[in-house]
Structure 1
Amino acid sequence: MDPRSTAGGDVVVRTDRLTLRRARAEDAEAYLAWRSLPDVMKYLYQDPWTAQVAHERLATWEVGAFSEPGDTLMLAVDGPDGVVGEALLRWAPGQGQVELGYAFHPDVAGLGYATEAGRVLLSVAFEQFGFHRAFARIDAENLASVRVAQRLGMRLEARFVENDWRPADGVWASELVYAVLASEHAARRRR
């Protein structure tokens, strides 16, 4: 893994199979390939995207800062055949905490890309930006995402019962919070 920051402040990380780099406006069509799918978007608590929404969001993410609480760093995940998913860091309110997130096209499910991208996110969060704690908020029904968090060495810290409205299917959904500390992540990497 080779994390580095480019001259423009973009995060670019390469693994054996993936490249994570700042999402760009020209990625809108690729993002639309999974963000237009109801089965993907229900776990993101959003309606499926239209082409207009994709272009607007990607244009915003391309120039968005990541320097203070509330900021989001959206990374496109390039696989062997182009953009296959997304990975993000959202600077949480308070001191030293960051939320991580990921979404991938269902066509690449089971290839380990989400876990690989999650490892990159944790390394960038802790080693490049110096965060103290990283957490993921996951819909309790999203078992694939739960397994990713577990493979990343994150522990279940909370379960909120029917705390969020899921507009895609009109139900109250339960949320799981998984987290890991920088010190725990560093200890695992040393092993």
Structure 2
Amino acid sequence: MTAPAEAGWPVLTDRLSLRRVMADDADAFLAWRSQPDVVRYMYQPPWTPQLAREKLAAWAVAPFAEPGDALVLAIEERGRPGVLGELLLKWAPGPGQAEVGYALHPEVQGRGYALEAARAAVALAFGRFGFHRVFARIDEENTASVRVCERLGMRLEARLVENDQRDGVWATEVVYAMLAREHGILAP
């Protein structure tokens, strides 16, 4: 696996531009991260303005060179200003493992942006970074994200019954994954 060079950003898809986050993105991220309906499947409370500033300042300069590191990208519509959502690629423990995650502002959900951004993240993970396996961990009730993984061609690998709590209630998590060779890119 290789760490990303600063060159090569943004990553462009048909409709989207994916770039490294900047500290100045804090207000944009707060717009969806402060909404309980958005963060409920992230197993965390809504953000405050202070937390948004702290997180984005840290993510903007965070390395992506070893297990535990996370690369957070801002999702923008090509040719239009404004951040629509976020994309996460986390270097997971274990050889050649990466986790993908995403969140969008509710106003743009349902337009296929999550699928398009996640497809780009999987291609980055296997192509640019050389990961062997990419997975997504999803609350079973988050059916929209389950559909994204299925449309990506990921397979259901696990169903972890009541393995975590969401809002004080036990929740079940599903794990979807794909190998580089299944994506058509052979990892080194």
Give yes or no for TM over 0.5. Answer: yes
TM-score by length of 2: 0.92
Aligned-partner Cα distance in 1 for 2:9–2:153: 23
Amino acid at match of 1:99: E
Range that drifts further, 74-83 or 154-163: 74-83
The Cα shift of 1:15 comes to 1.2
* Paired residues for 1:138-157 under 5 Å: 138-157=138-157
State the match for 1:94 in structure 2: 94
RMSD (Å) for aligned C-alpha atoms: 1.6
TM-score by length of 1: 0.91
The Cα shift of 1:180 comes to 0.4
Gaps of 5+ in 1: none
Match of 2:45 among 44, 47, 50: 47
State the match for 2:171 in structure 1: 173
User: CA deviation digits over 1:46-73, x for unaligned, max 9?
Assistant: 1000000000000000000000000000
Contact kept? 2:4, 2:129, Cα under 8 Å:
no
Percent identity over paired residues = 63
Aligned-partner Cα distance in 1 for 2:52–2:156: 32
The Cα shift of 1:9 comes to 5.5
Amino acid at match of 1:181: L
Aligned-partner Cα distance in 2 for 1:135–1:158: 11
Aligned-partner Cα distance in 2 for 1:7–1:99: 20
The Cα shift of 1:10 comes to 6.8
Aligned-partner Cα distance in 1 for 2:168–2:131: 35
Contact kept? 2:131, 2:180, Cα under 8 Å:
yes
State the match for 1:129 in structure 2: 129
Contact kept? 2:4, 2:128, Cα under 8 Å:
no
Change (3 A) 1:47 1:185: same
Gaps of 5+ in 2: none
Contact kept? 2:33, 2:46, Cα under 8 Å:
yes
Give the secondary structure class of the aligned counterpart of 1:126: helix
Count, aligned residues: 181
State the match for 2:10 in structure 1: 12
The Cα shift of 1:7 comes to 5.8
Aligned-partner Cα distance in 2 for 1:41–1:9: 31
Give the secondary structure class of the aligned counterpart of 1:75: strand
State the match for 1:111 in structure 2: 111
Change (3 A) 1:17 1:94: same
The Cα shift of 1:126 comes to 0.2
Aligned-partner Cα distance in 2 for 1:7–1:125: 14
Q: Does 1:158 align with 2:153?
A: no
Give the secondary structure class of the aligned counterpart of 2:130: coil
Contact kept? 1:6, 1:12, Cα under 8 Å:
no
Change (3 A) 1:171 1:11: farther
